[in-house]
Amino acid sequence: MSPPDSAAPDDDARPDAPDHRSPGAPGGAAGDDGDDGTGTGTGTGTGTGTGTDGPEGPHGHTPTAADRVEVDEPLLAARVHRPSDLVRLLVGILGIAVVLAIAAFAHGTTVGLEEDINKGTGQAPDLLVKVAALVSSIAVLLLPVAFAIERLIKRDGLRIADGVLAAVLAHGVTLATDLWVSQAAPGTIQEALTRPAGADGALTDPVHGYLAPVIAYMTAVGMTRRPHWRVALWVVLLLDAFTMLVSGYTTPFSIILTVLIGWSVAYGTLYAVGSPNVRPTGQHLLAGLRRVGFQPVSAMRAETPDGPEATEVNDRGRRYHVTLEDGPPLDVTVVDREQQAHGFFYRVWRRLTLRGITTGRSLQSLRQALEQEALLAYAAIAAGANAPKLIATSELGPDAVMLVYEHLGGRSLDSLSDEEITDELCRNAWEQVRALQSRRIAHRRLTGDALVVDRSGNVILTDLRGGEIAAGDLVLRMDIAQLLTTLGLRVGAERSVSSAVSVLGPDAVADCLPLLQPIALSRSTRATLRRLARERAQRQREAVLESSRAAKAAREAGAASSPAADRKAEKKALDDALDGAREEDLLSQIRQQVLLIRPQAPVEPARLERIRPRTLVSFIAGAFGAYFLLTQLAHVDFATIVGEAQWGWVGAALAFSALSYFAAAMSLLGFVPERVPFLRTVLAQVAGSFVKLVAPAAVGGVALNTRFLQRAGIRPGLAVASVGASQLFGLASHILLLLSFGYLTGTEKTPEMTPSRTVIAGLLTVAVLVLVVTAVPFMRKFVATRVRALFAGVVPRMLDVLQRPQKLMTGIGGMLLLTGCFVMCLDASIRAFGGGQAISYASIAVVFLAGNALGSAAPTPGGIGAVETTLTLGLIAAGLEKEVAISAVLLFRLMTFWLPVLPGWLSFNFLTRKEAI
């Protein structure tokens, strides 16, 4: 392997300097002094570079006639949004949250730390402190100005503009933070961030209004990434912090918070407006090739695929096909810091959620990426596998590296037609995998574009950058599962399994079955499987609808029969059509093919996920709710409250809770024109209380009611439409009731009918959301698609309901009765603890409706945590004492959520035995 170029280029002779870019790329600003140089955008046009504009080429190379060679590549964007800036912003926000949490909850620690620092700094000589204060105050102002002058001389005005914008935003954030700390922050936070400034009780600033903008400016312009300027910056900051601490003008937490705010605002600004694009162009690539002894004539950028494959291809680097003056062409891969940061969050999430699977480092230096790819290339060839031959490597400045391979001259498996993928080709692919696995080498991405077929029909494994040496059994079996799926998508499950067994043997193929699951496959393969699943579901729906139409036509043409017989015949026809149209997914087909060879093979999927996204969100929301409740319960004397409870009202709360299930049955049946047993519908609503314990309330109830109606003989499409109509009317009535009761709460204490501020704020919020949705194209398209789907199913169903006014009145009456039952249950819970005179029915209704809406939106089962928090805060804001509010909410949730769980479980089992759900 050729060693990377070790010459350190001069800071102003970098390939990203403004006058050194080829005309084929839009005018990039001056070289980013950053350590990332990452970005996300590329232009849409194509251009050809004919040389360099400046007096000097990359790395001080003087342009000659040889430099003026053709480069065909898409134009690079002048500014890019770097994922690394977003990562730093999130880290800064997390740091700010940690500082505030320590200040709020570790009061003793903060006080002790301040006392220790004051005791230590109090011994500093007074003269030294005054001199340091004078020097630091002057240097804090002169240092940014000096750097700005230096950058303007280097014609980097855009960078200065970014710094000024960041400084202005940081100043605004400091003002807002100061206002919050002085007006609304808890006393512990205020004490940790401020100190008395005089005898009149004034306090020091929690965040230093001049220091945070300076930090934001210097970070945004890139000063912190230049060695000499960085040293000067830290000396000035430490000197300034020392003088402020000794003089008693600030606290340690205030300084830390100031630095974090300035740092976070700087990177937030850079991510929002974009940073100058410093990615090397094709001309820089050609200059790098000349430095390692090649004489290039032209370079052509490889096309980037669209769709789900684009993300993974971007993660592997930019590829060029280079022709030489003498010799065969080359395939060159350029990896820069944009590729290093691309997919960062996805890699972090995979590392956190997958057990037993090692993933690539989320943050990897360019040197490490180069060495890893080179190592995998040499290891694959040494193992006897067909892999691209690496012949040279080199750096392209401090922000990119290139890897030079022999030209393959083949086509990827994805570009081949189905007829060209023969059994021999499949076996050849498995032979390459067998060679890798014989040396414990994992490829980690055996997708169609990573398998290249040369002119001789041999399969070559490319994209080894994400591979792994000394791989474990789990990862090796994942490679087999991935290639089984990749070939199965093209030639079918039978041929894919047969070719694998002929090369690897039945035992090796059977061992991979537990890993034959979507989570173990590549991102592009999962996207393809999801697309095929949607197409399969669409074909099933069309088959069922066609069968329904045929059955209806047959009944109309035949002899008259009873409605019950018609429903039974229609249900049987639909079940038969559904069974006939059901198609197995590809992974199930592969399992069946393997089981035909090895019936005893393990089929139980291996548990690869440590934690699911829904579980994580539920845990976080539940933790917040539990923390809030525990902090409130710590101050409640339950013995006294329970002893003084009025048990008559407790019984009333239980009665209203039981009545709500009858109201829920009415609200559902009112939108079902067909006849459905009422009592069994009530049992289904009771069973929903058990389902809510294991699923979010807005999801579990809908799924259960839909299944119940289908089992009652209603066609699937009509069952979904009925439940959707019920949900739609419920949402509309919920909003109307919330606004109506909110209006009444605003007029209770005023003689004129003026709406409350809550109603006005709610209407303004809705208006803003509507404007945002209509202004953002993808959100507008998303909403329009959902609305069209709603009108396609729900509106026709509503026309059927409107033909029976008594049904519609039953549904609307059930909704109003359901809301009334819950409001009366909450009112009875309040009265049970003597709080009935302190709050009106309108206020109780507003609190319940708001809490119910938040509970339906919360991802936790039954809205645990969110409902309790909202109801408690709402009742306290309405004028109820904290102890009474907490007790009433706990009793209300006991009656409406926890007590019905056991009856719900019994109802669920009963309906399951009766095949009603």
Q: Which helix (H) or strand (E) holds 213?
A: helix 211-220
Q: Quick: pLDDT tens for 661-717.
A: 999 999 888 888 778 888 989 998 898 888 776 655 555 677 788 888 888 877 776
Res 340 pLDDT > 70: no
Q: Classify each residue of 56-80 as buried b or exposed e, where b means 16 or more C-beta atoms within 10 Å of its C-beta.
A: bbbbebebeeebebbbbbbebbbbb
Q: Higher model confidence: residue 488 or residue 712?
A: 488
Res 71 pLDDT > 80: no
What local confidence, expressed as pLDDT, does residue 862 receive?
Answer: 65
Q: Quick: pLDDT tens for 847-867.
A: 888 777 766 666 566 667 678
What local confidence, expressed as pLDDT, does residue 841 receive?
Answer: 81
- State how far the Cα of 400 lies from the Cα of 524, in Å rounded to an integer: 26
**Average pLDDT score over residue span 308-314:** 48
Q: Higher model confidence: residue 356 or residue 850?
A: 850
A 10 A CB-CB count for 883 gives 18
- State how far the Cα of 282 lies from the Cα of 21, in Å rounded to an integer: 10
Res 758 pLDDT > 70: no
Tokens for 100?
A: 């505030």
- State how far the Cα of 561 lies from the Cα of 564, in Å rounded to an integer: 8
What local confidence, expressed as pLDDT, does residue 73 receive?
Answer: 61
Which among 3-12, 34-43, 120-129, 564-573 has the top mean pLDDT? Answer: 564-573
Which among 229-233, 395-399, 436-440, 747-751 has the top mean pLDDT? Answer: 436-440
Res 251 pLDDT > 60: yes
Which among 263-272, 333-342, 430-439, 826-835 has the top mean pLDDT? Answer: 430-439
What local confidence, expressed as pLDDT, does residue 796 receive?
Answer: 62
- State how far the Cα of 87 lies from the Cα of 341, in Å rounded to an integer: 9
> Which of 651, 649, 656 lies closest to 833, judged by CA?
649
Tokens for 827?
A: 């009112």
Q: Which helix (H) or strand (E) holds 320?
A: strand 318-324
- State how far the Cα of 502 lies from the Cα of 509, in Å rounded to an integer: 10
Q: Are 755 and 853 in contact (CB under 8 A)?
A: no
Percentage of the chain exceeding pLDDT 70: 66
Q: Quick: pLDDT tens for 780-829.
A: 676 666 555 555 555 566 666 666 778 888 888 888 898 899 999 998 98
- State how far the Cα of 685 lies from the Cα of 701, in Å rounded to an integer: 8
Q: Which helix (H) or strand (E) holds 390?
A: strand 390-395
Identify the band that residue 372 occupies on the pLDDT scale cut at 50, 70 and 90. confident
Lowest-confidence segment of 115-119, 182-186, 631-635 by average pLDDT:
631-635
β-sheet bridge partners, residue 693: none
What local confidence, expressed as pLDDT, does residue 57 receive?
Answer: 37
Res 123 pLDDT > 70: no
What local confidence, expressed as pLDDT, does residue 787 receive?
Answer: 57
Give the list of residues 6+ apart from residue 329 with CB closer than 8 angstroms, or none.
Answer: 321, 322, 323, 407
Side chain identity, residue 855: G
Sign of the CA dihedral with 334 first, then 336, 342, and 347 last: positive
A 10 A CB-CB count for 324 gives 15
What local confidence, expressed as pLDDT, does residue 221 receive?
Answer: 82
Give the CA distances from residue 405 to residues 319, 329, 332, 388, 527, in Å, rounded to whole numbers and listed in that order.
11, 9, 6, 6, 30
Give the list of residues 6+ apart from residue 404 with CB closer than 8 angstroms, or none.
Answer: 289, 292, 294, 330, 331, 332, 390, 391, 392, 393, 394
Helix (H, G, I), strand (E, B) or coil at 70: strand
**Average pLDDT score over residue span 593-604:** 87
Give the list of residues 6+ apart from residue 537 with CB closer than 8 angstroms, or none.
Answer: none
**How wide is the angle at C-alpha 735 spanned by C-alphas 732 and 737, nearest 5°?**
105
Which among 605-619, 717-731, 753-767, 802-816 has the top mean pLDDT? Answer: 802-816
What is the rounded average pLDDT for all residues in the chain? 74
- State how far the Cα of 400 lies from the Cα of 317, in Å rounded to an integer: 10
**DSSP code string of 631-683:** HHHTT--HHHHHHT--HHHHHHHHHHHHHHHHHHHHHHHTT--S---HHHHHH
Identify the band that residue 30 occupies on the pLDDT scale cut at 50, 70 and 90. very low
Res 63 pLDDT > 60: no
Lowest-confidence segment of 184-193, 363-372, 459-468 by average pLDDT:
363-372
Q: How many DSSP H helices and E strands does the chain contain?
A: 33, 12
Burial class of 112 by CB neighbour count within 10 A (0 to 12, 13 to 18, 19+): exposed
Res 778 pLDDT > 70: no
Res 509 pLDDT > 90: yes
Lowest-confidence segment of 369-378, 380-389, 790-799 by average pLDDT:
790-799
β-sheet bridge partners, residue 861: 696
Phi and psi at residue 717, in whole multiples of 5°?
A: -65, -40
Q: Quick: pLDDT tens for 316-328.
A: 678 888 888 888 8
Q: Which helix (H) or strand (E) holds 318?
A: strand 318-324
**DSSP code string of 833-858:** TT-TTSS-HHHHHHHHHHHHHHHHHS
Identify the band that residue 646 occupies on the pLDDT scale cut at 50, 70 and 90. confident
Identify the band that residue 603 occupies on the pLDDT scale cut at 50, 70 and 90. confident
Give the list of residues 6+ apart from residue 706 with CB closer than 8 angstroms, or none.
Answer: 716, 719, 720, 723
> Which of 307, 296, 367, 308 lies closest to 332, judged by CA?
296
Give the list of residues 6+ apart from residue 898 with CB closer than 8 angstroms, or none.
Answer: none
Identify the band that residue 35 occupies on the pLDDT scale cut at 50, 70 and 90. very low
**Average pLDDT score over residue span 546-555:** 72
**How wide is the angle at C-alpha 836 spanned by C-alphas 640 and 642, nearest 5°?**
20
**DSSP code string of 738-772:** HHHHHHHHHHTT-SS----HHHHHHHHHHHHHHHH
What local confidence, expressed as pLDDT, does residue 452 receive?
Answer: 92
What local confidence, expressed as pLDDT, does residue 50 receive?
Answer: 35
- State how far the Cα of 341 lies from the Cα of 37, in Å rounded to an integer: 9
